[in-house]
Amino acid sequence: MDSIEQKLKLLQQLREQARMGGGEKRIETQHQKGKYTARERIMRLLDEGSFEEFDMFVTHRQTEFGLDKEVFLSDGVVTGHGTIHGRQVMIFSQDFTVLGGSLGEMFAKKICKIMDYATKVGVPVIGLNDSGGARIQEGVMSLGGYADIFLRNVMASGVVPQISAILGPCAGGAVYSPALTDFTIMTKGTSYMFVTGPKVVKTVTHEDVSVEQLGGADVHATKSGVTHFVAQSEDETFELIRKLITFMPQNNMEEAPIVASNDPVDRVEDDLNYIVPTDPNMPYDMRQVIELVVDNNDFLEVRRQWAANIITGFGRFNGRSVGIVANQPSVLAGVLDNKASRKAGAFVRFCNAFNIPVVTFVDVPGFMPGTVQEYEGIILNGAKLLYAFAECTVPKITIITRKAYGGAYDVMSSKHLRGDLNYAWPTAEIAVMGPSGAVEVLYSKELRALEGEEKAKFIAEKEEEYRVKFANPYNAARAGFIDDVIEPRNTRFRIIRGLESLVGKRDNNPLKKIGLVPL
């Protein structure tokens, strides 16, 4: 019979074996590619010494295609729990050194176990992805494993925050797990995501395309919008996750933590009084407005490079976490198009799911006209954003800085969609459309009869008349659609007071099985 010392020695040996993953040579190859191993990643992401590992001794149960000779403790994925800034998270980290991080039956079971744990306990799930996809030798067992994970992604959706980092390959159906999570971060140069790789693309569509062009971080940040963030390195990825998670609660029954703020509540920003140009057609940078009002000018922008005509991201007001949505007049005049509507709609839904108040800055000339937009379904996509704001029951504060024209006025968290506090700057223009469009429609008969200078003079006069009558905040304020017209420099203070007044807010939607968001 073995002594306890011998038994402990065996335990240590097995642990050591598990920690070596696919072995020294493959670890070296991983490092040569500029990548950390699965365990190194966990150690860098979590608080020091906080990681508790599950299922270190799990192995696969397959014997086909020589797999009986390729058995690795942990089976290619490291799972468990730990803390970030002292708050608990569940984590899985795919180990590319073991069979290319490919996913088989037991690998999937390990991920499912921590996801079930996370939903049971109510803590976020973080997935670190680096995998060759379905473990080919395990056939349908691996396909089943993926579907088991997808199901859990969906069940956990809106219950606990889910964050995916892509740190290597993520191809085939494997992409759908990150796609179902709330935030995706890709590491530049070492990660890629696509449904089918370059070889299949070549066969089917005859396109010659590199891995980077098809599914690199830049492509998904600028063209597809699949990734919410791009990090320059793995270390930057981990820093970003550690920051991102501070804006969120642990689950849908809690509120985001309040972080002590040393930024004065009553900080006035005189620059804001002059930030909107006198010429209504001149752009300005709405990001500057946001940075001037949030605590310590600290704004974490989400999907920065995609649909830049709308800004989404997290900030704090007197320590309280908020989601910020803002039209960006310096890109496409801040117009709402297909991508912008989807981007903001998805962000508002995340905030609503996790009890994060939404602050909306409005300067929008309307929805983007034209065949491109209509053919891509601006009607349905605009409806997504409208739906998101309308169903949203968290505290909602709206600041109209300049234009709020047409349907876009209604959509952008208006009073009519249950905006709690709707403020306008004196520079606001709230009307059915802008002066030039309005004059063309209202005076079409008169304009047909005029020419040259006479016509130009008539237009200028009528536009001015319209501007005075309609392009201001006071018609809306008279109707009570705007709660107050505020001095821009006081915006921070007014938002903070507003958020404080809304701390006890309770609002409900009618009981239903699900709402039918126009997809």
Instruction: Please choose, from the candidates 309, 416, 418, the residue with its C-alpha nearest in 3D space to the C-alpha of residue 357.
Output: 418
Q: Is 172 a catalytic residue?
A: yes
Cβ-based nearer residue to ligand HXC, 26 or 228 = 26
Catalytic residue among 172, 215, 313, 345: 172
Q: Looking at residue 331, what DSSP letter applies? A: T
Residues 6+ apart with CB under 8 A from 238: 41, 44, 45, 165
Cβ-based nearer residue to ligand HXC, 45 or 174 = 174
* Whole-angstrom distance, CA of residue 70 vs CA of residue 517: 47
Q: How far is the CB of 474 from ligand HXC (least distance, A)?
A: 57
For 177-195, b/e burial (b = at least 16 CB within 10 A) is: bbebbbbbbbbbebbbbbe
Cβ-based nearer residue to ligand HXC, 114 or 134 = 134
Q: What is the amino acid identity at position 258? A: I
Cβ-based nearer residue to ligand HXC, 99 or 289 = 99
Q: How far is the CB of 160 from ligand HXC (least distance, A)?
A: 23
Residues that bind ligand HXC (CB under 6 A): 26, 99-100, 102, 132-136, 143, 146, 169, 171-174
Structure tokens at 384: 């997504």
Catalytic residue among 217, 346, 388, 408: 408
Q: Looking at residue 58, what DSSP letter applies? A: -
Catalytic residue among 173, 319, 377, 437: 173
Structure tokens at 383: 């409806």
Q: How far is the CB of 373 from ligand HXC (least distance, A)?
A: 33
**DSSP bridge partners of 87:** 84
Structure tokens at 438: 């309005």
Q: Helix and strand tally (H, E) in the chain?
A: 20, 17
Cβ-based nearer residue to ligand HXC, 111 or 322 = 111
Q: How far is the CB of 30 from ligand HXC (least distance, A)?
A: 9
Q: How far is the CB of 135 from ligand HXC (least distance, A)?
A: 4
Instruction: Please choose, from the candidates 321, 286, 341, 336, the residue with its C-alpha nearest in 3D space to the C-alpha of residue 394.
Output: 321
How many C-beta atoms lie closer than 10 Å to residue 456's C-beta? 11
* Whole-angstrom distance, CA of residue 495 vs CA of residue 265: 10
CA distances from 476 to 21, 243, 484 (A): 64, 39, 10
Q: Is 477 a catalytic residue?
A: no
CA distances from 135 to 24, 98, 161, 408 (A): 22, 11, 28, 48
Q: Is 419 a catalytic residue?
A: no
Q: How far is the CB of 404 from ligand HXC (least distance, A)?
A: 44
Structure tokens at 214: 């098809």
Q: Is 173 a catalytic residue?
A: yes
Cβ-based nearer residue to ligand HXC, 61 or 497 = 61
Q: How far is the CB of 99 from ligand HXC (least distance, A)?
A: 5
Cβ-based nearer residue to ligand HXC, 172 or 498 = 172
Structure tokens at 380: 């349905």
Q: Which residues are catalytic?
A: 172-173, 407-408
